[in-house]
Amino acid sequence: MSFDSLGLTEALLKAIQKKGYTQPSPIQLKAIPRILEGKDVLASAQTGTGKTAGFTLPMLQLLAEGHQLRQRPVRALVLTPTRELAAQVFANVKEYGEYLDLRSAVIFGGVNQKPQVNQLRRGVDILVATPGRLLDLHNQGVLSLAKIEILVLDEADRMLDMGFLRDIQRIMSVMPERRQNLMFSATFSKEIKKLAQSILRYPVLVEATPENSTVDAIKQKVYRVAKGLKTALIIKLILDGDWTQVLVFTRTKHGANKLCKKMINAGISASAIHGNKSQGARTKALAGFKKGSISVLVATDIAARGLDIPLLPHVVNFELPNISEDYVHRIGRTGRAGASGEAISLVSADETTYLRDIEKLVGFKIPMEIIEGFEPDPNASTAPIKQGQKSNRSRQGNRSNSGSSRNQKSGNNSEGQKRSNRRRPKRNKNRRSSDRRN
């Protein structure tokens, strides 16, 4: 089937053709017609399946066909868990809406709010936002959600995992009850189903791929290696393979910085991206990686669902995630849009449990190799590392996706700091609420 068969307008078809797409993906085939019918939709879609266009295209058409008010209040809201994902969705909205008379904007923390405020005051039809900055500007009276017609929760499971449930509930409370709701999630946990029941009305369930499945186009491989030899091995793989674009995942921010420094010392152009980096540094690193001036991007799970890098050939798990589902989202950065890709995991003895859980999740045993000179330590313990045992706290720290340094000024603090504040029994009464916003 082609996009012509989905009932999209000529303006949208023109924009799709300009991007070079000819056939809709399974999630687009299933979701677009139901959204155009005005249905609430609960969609299960893995990263890299084209889900963003799956809700962006029909949303744009419905808004374009609807009554446009002169002042242009926000009529559609897309909530995302991270800044990178917000920027990615906003870029898609701009591209697909190129030939429509609709205005869009994106807001997130870590940057000066003044340009965002100025844009909102000029009038916006579609707003893409992270929860913290959205609530902050709403509380300041900068924007109103009273005219929302369409709400999209993108990566809903990730938002719950990052502790945004209370923020989502607050946002729901200031929107009109009559609206169309679209929820996209890679997993359907009990928490997601409970959230869906509280938001969606008689939803249509759309499933494009089995939950937590990995894309067939991704070639997966495990290298068993001694923990202390991982850095030397990944440098060897990159140099020997002449890899020019590699996304590498570490478990911690400190680990990302350390590995990045060692790669640079080995003559590899590399940059790190994580929650302690300023938004400017993150944007610069990602831009350099996309255009090829940076060969290796070392990231924590901040990047697992928020980066869209066309034709990315290699993803390397320098350390396995201690949450099995994150493996799927990490390697989903490659093998996108019909392209092939390779996902390599460097696994030491103390990650044996993580590997077993991942293989159980994806449903097959990942092929394993051992490279001469980098053999695993036969005497090393297979007990999970201490860091993994403290996963709740370490993951909160590594997932400060919508924020940056704890030392940022009011209005720009990280989501990780915000969640940390929630866990504290006492708060500084002199701190403004906006200090916690993303």
Q: Are residues 130 and 154 in the same domain?
A: yes
Q: How far from 17 is each of 4, 95, 280, 385, CA to CA, in Å? A: 11, 11, 32, 50
pLDDT the model gives residue 215: 60
Q: Are residues 143 and 166 in the same domain?
A: yes
Section 130-151 average pLDDT: 95
Section 93-119 average pLDDT: 94
Q: Given this model, what pLDDT does residue 362 score?
A: 87
The domain in which residue 117 lies consists of 3-207
- Assess whether 155 and 264 both reside in one domain: no
The first and second tokens of residue 259, run together, are 């590995």
| pLDDT tens per residue across span 12-39 | 999 999 988 888 988 999 999 999 999 9
Instruction: State the Cα–Cα distance between residues 418 and 435, nearest whole angstrom.
Output: 8
Identify whether residues 234 and 271 lie together within a single domain.
yes
Is the confidence at residue 412, as pLDDT, over 70? no
Assigned domain for 378 exists: yes
CB atoms within 10 A of CB 43: 26
The pLDDT confidence band at residue 435, using thresholds 50, 70 and 90, is very low
3-class SS letters over the chain: CCHHHHCCCHHHHHHHHHHCCCCCCHHHHHHHHHHHCCCCEEEECCCCCCHHHHHHHHHHHHHHHCCCCCCCCCCEEEECCCHHHHHHHHHHHHHHCCCCCCCEEEECCCCCCHHHHHHHHCCCCEEEECHHHHHHHHHCCCCCCCCCCEEEECCHHHHHHCCCHHHHHHHHHCCCCCCEEEEEECCCCHHHHHHHHHHCCCCEEEECCCCCCCCCCEEEEEEECCHHHHHHHHHHHHHHCCCCCEEEECCCHHHHHHHHHHHHHCCCCEEEECCCCCHHHHHHHHHHHHHCCCCEEEECHHHCCCCCCCCCCEEEECCCCCCHHHHHHHHCCCCCCCCCEEEEEEECHHHHHHHHHHHHHHCCCCCEECCCCCCCCCCCCCCCCHHHHCHHHHHHHHCCCCCCCCCCCCCCCCHHHHHHHHHCCCCCCCCCHHHHCC
The answer to whether residue 398 is domain-embedded is no
Q: Give domain status of residue 393, yes or no.
A: no
Confidence grade of residue 186 (pLDDT, cut at 50, 70, 90) = confident
Q: Note the pLDDT of residue 330.
A: 86
User: Above 70 in pLDDT, residue 313?
Assistant: yes
Question: Are residues 257 and 229 located together in one domain of the fold?
Answer: yes
Domain count, the chain: 2
Confidence of residue 316 (pLDDT cuts 50, 70, 90): very high
Same domain flag for 274 and 191: no
Mean pLDDT of 178-197: 89
Please give the share of the chain, as a percent, with pLDDT higher than 90.
58
Q: Contact, 55 vs 31, CB < 8 A?
A: yes
48, part of any domain: yes
Pair (181, 235) in one structural domain: no
Torsion of the alpha carbons at 138, 139, 142 and 143, rounded to the nearest 10: 20
* pLDDT higher than threshold 90 for residue 339: no
Is residue 421 domain-resident?
no
Which residues, at least 6 apart from 199, have a Cβ–Cβ distance to it below 8 Å?
151, 153, 172, 181, 183
Rg (CA), the chain: 22
State whether 222 and 266 are in the same domain: yes
Query: Phi and psi dihedrals of 173, rounded to 5?
Result: -70, -15
For residue 406, name the pLDDT band (cuts at 50, 70, 90): very low
Looking at residue 212, its pLDDT comes to 53
The reported pLDDT for the residue numbered 433 is 38
CB 271 within 8 A of CB 264: no
pLDDT at 185: 87
User: Taking a C-beta distance cutoff of 8 angstroms, is the pair 360, 236 a contact?
Assistant: no
In terms of domains, do 182 and 51 share one? yes
> How much is the mean pLDDT over the chain?
84
Tokens representing 386 are 């201490």
For 257, residues 6+ apart whose C-beta sits below 8 A from its C-beta are: 272, 274
pLDDT recorded at residue 422 = 41
Decide if 419 is inside a domain: no
pTM here is 0.67
pLDDT tens-digit series, residues 234-272: 999 999 999 999 999 999 999 999 999 999 999 999 999
What percent of the chain shows pLDDT beyond 70?
A: 82
> What pLDDT, on the 0 to 100 scale, is given for residue 110?
83
405 is a domain residue:
no
Q: Quick check: is 428 in a domain?
A: no
- The CATH number of whichever domain residue 281 belongs to comes to 3.40.50.300
Write out pLDDT tens, residues 35-44: 999 999 999 8
189-240 tens-digit pLDDT: 788 889 999 999 999 999 876 555 556 678 999 999 999 999 999 999 999 9
